[in-house]
Structure 1
């Protein structure tokens, strides 16, 4: 089992450095995971906002962690490709418990936010870097080098700050997180092309971006040098919108 998980972790890491951009249409259950895998995508990624909504809870660690892990475990069992979990801010778990629980459900990657959902606001970058380093050490000791996608929440939490200040802070945090052992940096919420290009140039590791309808598509993100693109809860919301439309057509 450990050998299989290690092979999946190694493959996931390799895809962050491939010539072709890693595209992740995020899923929320076993059925959506199977659709993504059957379409030929080499990795399946969960979306915490979508899973939380499916379970009836708000995003931002509003759902019980056991339910979140159970849902991600069902995703992992449904496919034969590597699975990475949006683990939000880690649910207050110490590094060993977090790694153990990820491996127990067959997951080889995780998103980890630098937001403190209990206190509100961003975690100190140095403190968060130490946590990432501890998670990296535990995962390596377990024999499965889990792929850590370090989410930088500057563009969400400091929306009123000048753009150049947020970019500079995202670069600072991204460098700290990569030095601590993260594999990819995810500056969620950044949508300006110049800001993305600056982040790609100044952060010495893969950058995770998001498309924006009518503004940023996969081609443009590829041209900017983004290594990984995720969709978060967008596909889940589109699926619900389609369901709503179909139901309304049937309504008396």
Structure 2
């Protein structure tokens, strides 16, 4: 079975309380550690990779991002989905070609630009072009930024999600959505729903998010930031 088929299958028939949990490696060694820990797939965080490469979130050059994704994909045998932000201005065909060349089986694509929501219908048309170029070779996770850069209206998020699913998105990611609206989002969105979880003990656990309707759970750059804090603590101890 192809890796992309394995990745798609991981999203199917998830039981309540048992979401697909995808850690976010930022380089080859963190990817290998996650694989050795038993995770069935990975989801790279653009913010985590940006930090590792010395860039601000959202400012990583496309060539550097794809090179980092390629190193991660090449370091493990399990499927890897890549957060490629808004697609770096690439035409859908080139974006797909570069993702596949890097070894990714999926991607996150956001519906905002520099903190401003894109026109939802225009974005849906662009997603449809990505889907056409990718065929069945990529799992497309469509980010919905209503809660981050819009008015936070769950109904508006559901409307945008419907357009993206109709355009061929395999999963919808209402990033920043309050846990309280997850059941409403779950009832209104067709197909898998990705939710964000924190690693600091604040907020619900992946299991709790699954019980509320999440199909899969990701952590953004949380793992990378936790490791950076632990490194700082270790470095401080060296000076005592």
* Matching residue of 1:133: 128
- Structure 2: state its 5+ residue gaps: none
Partners of 2:85 and 2:108 within 8 A in 1: yes
Shift of 1:67: 0.4
After superposition, the CA RMSD in angstroms is 1.3
Shift of the alpha carbon at 1:116?
A: 1.5
Q: Deviations over 1:100-146 (max 9, x none)?
A: 001111111000000113xx411100001001100101111xxx420
Query: Quick check: 1:79 aligned with 2:104?
Result: no
Question: Which residue in the other structure is 1:111 paired with?
Answer: 108
Report if aligned partners of 2:19, 2:207 keep a CA contact under 8 Å in 1.
no
Taking the aligned partners of 1:192 and 1:16, their CA distance within structure 2 comes to 20
Shift of 1:214: 3.1
TM-score norm. by structure 1 comes to 0.90
Q: Deviations over 1:15-72 (max 9, x none)?
A: 1113242101111000000011111111111110000011111112x01110010000
1:181 and 2:156 equivalent? no
**Residue of structure 1 in register with 2:91 after alignment:** 94
**What secondary structure is seen at the aligned counterpart in 2 of 1:69?**
helix
Moved over 4 A (4+): none
Q: 1:204 aligns with which of 180, 190, 194?
A: 190
2:223 is the counterpart of 1:235: yes
Report the counterpart of residue 38 of structure 2 in structure 1. 40
Secondary structure of the corresponding residue to residue 117 of structure 2: coil
The answer on 1:149 being equivalent to 2:144 is: no
Distance 1:169 1:116 in 2: 18
* Among candidates 209, 214, 219, match of residue 226 of structure 1: 214
- The runs of 5 or more residues in structure 1 that have no matched partner are none
Verify: 1:192 aligned to 2:179, yes or no.
yes
